[in-house]
Amino acid sequence: MSKFWSPLVNDLVPYVPGEQPKMANLVKLNTNENPFGPSPRVIEAIQAELNDNLRLYPDPEGEALRQTIADYHNVQPEQVFLGNGSDEVLAHIFYALFQHGEPILFPDVTYSFYPVYCGLYNIEGRKVPLTDSFEINPEDYRQPNGGVIFPNPNAPTGRYLPLEQVEAIIRANPDRVVVVDEAYVDFGGESAITLVDKYPNLLVSQTLSKARSLAGLRVGLAVGHKDLIEALNRVKNSFNSYPLDRLALAGAKAAYEDDAWFRKCCDGVISERERVTEALESMGFEVLPSKANFVFARHKEQSGEALAKGLRAQGIIVRHFDKPRISDFLRITIGTAEQNDALIKGLQSL
């Protein structure tokens, strides 16, 4: 501990992102990046912004992109919030909407940034256990709280909660904000954005990193009642009024405008996910049902740690979590057909 640190910093346990190894001929299946590149229209839009206008600040409100997203989801622009990746959006959500002096609820096996934000903002977090089959039980969220957040599909499990069950959680908490984190929803789920006009306590966060192949551009968003968006804007404008640069705004807008490319990429991931699932099951793996661009699987005889090390020795990187309940699971990103073939071959050799 440095004498110059604020007291809070000493107690923080930061989020640990997926490894970005520097290895030759690497098969990288550990960070849920899309195996297919962004739309060519995205590249064109970014290139068109590479001009003298870079000396000027970007639009702090991102009005053109917000209008495009609003039109896409059939909501109003004032119901859309933009941030520098969904992690920043989530950070603002925790600060603006979850500080009510009561514990917020999230699953015990879920996105590990949630407890990090609780530590950063001195919010009590209460972990709600998933069922024995790693599902969210809506009945477990009928308890006093300062807010609710969960990914749908969940991460790292990949399991999806149907909208009628999501709605049950929202209805059970009318006086608290319910946040549905939809980073992976486009790979087979249905977005809760269709419910935001029905429930003023619902906020849905999404990212362009996964289904729209823009992890390197850092664009996130939230959609909900305009009062919730106003709270986020107050925090954003007290922190950084220009979270998205000109290139990100242009590229993100183009990504939404090329819906055919988006759907083609999602379909490709879904098809490969099913093929990888079948191959893993044929090798003795239990694979949880996934609606994400990854699968969560454990072998009936071999440990997750041993399998991850065995794959790494072959230049194949997957994510292993040394945590309670899931230490024998591997989270495997769905890659290209060639990458997935290498994964299957690699596992067959272990």
Report yes or no on 225 lying in a domain: yes
pLDDT score, position 1? 66
In terms of domains, do 108 and 241 share one? yes
* Residue 16, pLDDT above cutoff 70: yes
In terms of domains, do 265 and 148 share one? no
In terms of domains, do 192 and 157 share one? yes
* Residue 46, pLDDT above cutoff 70: yes
Tens-digit pLDDT profile for residues 262-302: 999 999 999 999 999 999 999 999 999 999 999 999 999 99
In terms of domains, do 99 and 244 share one? yes
- Among 240, 244, 161, 163, smallest CA distance to 208 is for 244
Domain boundary among 258, 290, 318: 258
Report yes or no on 2 lying in a domain: no
In terms of domains, do 193 and 58 share one? yes
Helices (H), the chain: 7-11, 40-48, 63-73, 85-97, 113-121, 163-172, 226-236, 246-257, 259-282, 304-312, 337-348
Report yes or no on 97 lying in a domain: yes
Domain that includes residue 319, residue range: 7-37+260-348
Helices (H), 283-321: 304-312
Tens-digit pLDDT profile for residues 130-178: 999 999 999 999 999 999 999 999 999 999 999 999 999 999 999 999 9
- The residue type at 244: L
pLDDT score, position 112? 94
Query: What is the model's pTM?
Result: 0.96
In percent, the amount of the chain with pLDDT more than 90 equals 93
* Residue 128, pLDDT above cutoff 90: yes
In terms of domains, do 14 and 80 share one? no
What span, in angstroms and rounded, lies between the C-alpha atoms of 169 and 138?
6
pLDDT score, position 165? 98
Report yes or no on 202 lying in a domain: yes
Domain boundary among 207, 225, 258: 258
- pLDDT band with cut points at 50, 70 and 90 for residue 17: confident
In terms of domains, do 32 and 44 share one? no
- Among 193, 252, 253, smallest CA distance to 224 is for 193
In terms of domains, do 140 and 220 share one? yes
In terms of domains, do 21 and 86 share one? no
The phi and psi torsions of 63 (rounded to 5 degrees) equal: -60, -45
Q: Is 42 left (phi over 0), alpha (psi -120 to 50) or beta?
A: alpha
Tens-digit pLDDT profile for residues 225-237: 999 999 999 999 9
State the helix-helix crossing angle for 246-257 and 40-48, rounded to 10 degrees: 150
The CATH code of the domain that includes 285 is 3.90.1150.10
Report yes or no on 1 lying in a domain: no
In terms of domains, do 220 and 302 share one? no
Tens-digit pLDDT profile for residues 214-263: 999 999 999 999 999 999 999 999 999 999 999 999 999 999 999 999 99
In terms of domains, do 19 and 145 share one? no
pLDDT score, position 18? 79
Domain boundary among 258, 273, 294: 258
In terms of domains, do 220 and 279 share one? no
The CATH code of the domain that includes 66 is 3.40.640.10
Report yes or no on 274 lying in a domain: yes
- Work out the mean pLDDT of the chain and round it to a whole number: 96
Q: How many domains does the chain have?
A: 2
